[in-house]
Amino acid sequence: MLFVCLGNICRSPLAQGVFEHLTVASGRSAEFVIESCGTGGWHVGDPPDPRTVAIAGRNGVRLDTRARQLDPAIDFERFQLVLGMDRNNLGEILAAGCPGERAGLFLGYAAAKGLRDLEVPDPYYGGPEGFERMFRLVRAGAEALLNEMLQDAA
Ligand code: 4NP
């Protein structure tokens, strides 16, 4: 699955790292191809934002990706599921030609289980509380998504 945000240095690399971490803990990591990217290209080649690396690290998750931009020619073939972190990301994914049945919101699975939020807000221009909130939402989203995937595979 492919996680998509705007810059690929905050939300989607965190989602990738947390989801990978959970798949390893569940013993099912071999069943998943997990990457992230951004709809924008400003940060291509950059490591995740230090504030994102810090909050991931405090929660036992190491991030070691480099930012890349969404590549419709390859990504919509390669990934069964392309999940945007907010509605704007999802709009860009669909506008770039992703088949609707493969596209969705990352928090859609958690929302179906009762989470009130549907979007992970961009924390880039805000304070530390935005990064805390991002982490909580990403963890809830990743847990719900993995549960759903493992149920489907069972
Ligand atoms: P992300 O956050 O989409 O969660 O990686 C952002 C990072 C950088 C920018 C925007 C959002 N930017 O405009 O540089």
Please give the distance, rounded to the nearest whole angstrom, from the Cα atom of residue 151 to the centre of ligand 1: 33
* Residue 71 near residue 4 (C-beta atoms within 8 A): no
Q: From the DSSP assignment, how many helices (H) and strands (E) are in the chain?
A: 6, 4
Closest residue by Cα to atom 12, ligand 1, is 7
> Which residues are registered as beta bridge partners of 4?
37, 84
Residues 6+ apart with CB under 8 A from 84: 4, 5, 90, 91, 92, 93, 103, 104, 105, 106
Which tens digit of pLDDT belongs to each residue from 62-114? 999 999 999 999 999 999 999 999 999 999 999 999 999 999 999 999 999 99
Q: Report how far Cα 1 is from the mean position of its chain's Cα atoms.
A: 9
Q: For residue 45, give the DSSP letter.
A: T
Please give the distance, rounded to the nearest whole angstrom, from the Cα atom of residue 35 to the centre of ligand 1: 17
The pTM score is 0.97
pLDDT at 39: 98
Closest residue by Cα to atom 9, ligand 1, is 7
pLDDT at 152: 83
* Known active-site residue 5: yes
